[in-house]
Structure 1
Amino acid sequence: MPGWFDLSVPVVTGMPVYPGDPEVTVAPALRVPADGVNVLRLHLGSQSGTHVDAPYHVDDDWPRLDELPLDRFAGRAVVADVRGLPARTPITPGLLAPALSHLRLAPCGILLLATGWSAHWGSTRYLAHPWLTPQAAEALVEAGIRTVAVDALSVDPTPAPGEPVTGCGLPAHRVLCGSGGVVAENLTGLERLIGAGDVEVFLFPLRLPAADGAPVRAVARVNRPVGEGRCRTLPLPWQS
């Protein structure tokens, strides 16, 4: 299955956003019949759609988006397959053990966390995704991971409808971003990379000065079949 894979959700009016974030609107601003060109007007937040979080997202004293090295947004990746977990299940170091074991043998800078939750994009169930415990985030940092990308709304638990958004603390964000790392969220279609060989991922954001984050066009390139790559998907014990 070598080739290119788009891992991004489309940016459209009314798309899902994190509770409290700006709603997304995409509408014509100029049209060929009247203006000679087609131009869209975009209204969205920096955390809209498939996006990356800079450390500044969770701490005023941490690096902003344009202060991060470009290698945070591209590199070889390993896919941790944690599909099949119930709603709001914490992802512990034990669940990541196969990926952590592989990282000790074949270091990679990016972890793709495949929860399967992108299947719920557009429904209220999308808010009830599994989430990364701080201990699991610490284990990833210790293994050399500097970018974690997930096919869910957040690496931390998202409040249910009606619950307050403030005060959750975003502990996994703080561990990953506190190491100078990057979090990417709202990826889609990670299951297509499960069982792949040598995977490269590209998550380059819009160049927004002093930003907390920005939308990205998340893309993966699979270079070699299973068994020939340095970083690959590893199943959980119940998936073996």
Structure 2
Amino acid sequence: MTTNHPTGSWVDLSVPVFPGMPVYPGDPEVEFGPALRVAEDGVNVLRLHLGSQSGTHVDAPYHLDDTWPTLEGLPLDRFAGPAVVADVRGLEPRAAITAELLAAALPRLRAGVVLVLATGWSAYWETDHYLAHPWLTPEAAQAVVDAGVRTVAVDALSVDRTPDPADHAAEFSLAAHRVLCGAGAVIAENLTNLGPVIAADAAARPVHLSLFPLRLTAADGAPARVVARIG
């Protein structure tokens, strides 16, 4: 969804949250239904059941290590900033996103920037192929961290490879998560509708991203409404 305004356009980059929606394999299923109804109770209230990593969400470092910061231990500026897009669309399923593939974006990175990894994989949302997304190598993640970036967003299920459920020998790794989160970075996953952001970045138009999560205490992450403002 895009909303035009005299000062720019607002673009919603979040997937809708609904019962039975896709989740990372093994995560809690999303369920909700009426807790109160206007007819009986005078108001409508939903009862929700979902995991902290449901839908478009933000990971805090605590997601990987009990000793690393939770959401509430992070500065607010980790959840907003000017965006730089690394357009890596066109990769094969489960292809590695290497530092070489980020070469065009790396010189533009600096502290305070939100790096947006545009894989194009949001086109497969709600299909089994969504699990076969490209993934960030730990070396590429280190190059991002070395550039001063502490916020990374991706239009895929994870910055790391998601194992094929049919391949029982597939290796499970969160190496990119560990590099990013180990540096105190936050990771936003399951973005969608990146087309206007990619086009604006390519045209050198300013793009500002906001990805504020729910204020859950002692949390590893939380659903977020990720929004871009294109100036």
Tell me if TM exceeds 0.5.
yes
For 1:1-39, what per-residue CA distance to the aligned partner results, in whole angstroms no more than 9, with x for missing partners? 831000000000010000000000121111111111111
8 Å Cα contact 1:27-1:42 kept in structure 2: yes
Rounded Cα–Cα distance in structure 2 between residues aligned with 1:85 and 1:136: 16
- Partner residue, 1:194: 198
Q: TM-score, structure 2 length as denominator?
A: 0.92
Rounded Cα–Cα distance in structure 2 between residues aligned with 1:81 and 1:70: 26
Matches within 5 A, 1:132-171: 132-163=136-167, 168-171=172-175
For 1:98-125, what per-residue CA distance to the aligned partner results, in whole angstroms no more than 9, with x for missing partners? 0012337xx6521011101000000000
- Partner residue, 2:23: 17
> What SS class does the counterpart of residue 149 from structure 1 fall into?
strand
Query: Counterpart of 1:139 in structure 2: which amino acid?
Result: A
- Partner residue, 2:220: 212
Aligned partner (choices 3, 25, 33) of residue 9 of structure 2: 3
Q: TM-score, structure 1 length as denominator?
A: 0.88
> What SS class does the counterpart of residue 210 from structure 1 fall into?
coil
Query: Counterpart of 2:107 in structure 1: which amino acid?
Result: S
Rounded Cα–Cα distance in structure 1 between residues aligned with 2:85 and 2:104: 10
For 1:155-195, what per-residue CA distance to the aligned partner results, in whole angstroms no more than 9, with x for missing partners? 00001124469972300000000000001000101122113
Query: Counterpart of 2:94 in structure 1: which amino acid?
Result: R
Aligned partner (choices 126, 129, 146) of residue 125 of structure 1: 129
- How many matched pairs? 221
For 1:70-97, what per-residue CA distance to the aligned partner results, in whole angstroms no more than 9, with x for missing partners? 0000111101111111100000001000
- Partner residue, 2:94: 88
For structure 1, the residue ranges without an aligned partner over 5 or more in a row are: 224-240
Query: By how many angstroms is 1:143 displaced?
Result: 1.1
- Partner residue, 1:176: 180
For structure 2, the residue ranges without an aligned partner over 5 or more in a row are: none
Query: Counterpart of 1:112 in structure 2: which amino acid?
Result: V
Matches within 5 A, 1:28-39: 28-39=34-45
Rounded Cα–Cα distance in structure 2 between residues aligned with 1:164 and 1:5: 39
Q: Which has the higher strand share?
A: 2
Query: Counterpart of 1:61 in structure 2: which amino acid?
Result: T
**CA RMSD between the two structures:** 1.7
Rounded Cα–Cα distance in structure 1 between residues aligned with 2:189 and 2:168: 21
Rounded Cα–Cα distance in structure 1 between residues aligned with 2:225 and 2:62: 21
> What SS class does the counterpart of residue 127 from structure 1 fall into?
helix
Identity of aligned residues (%): 68
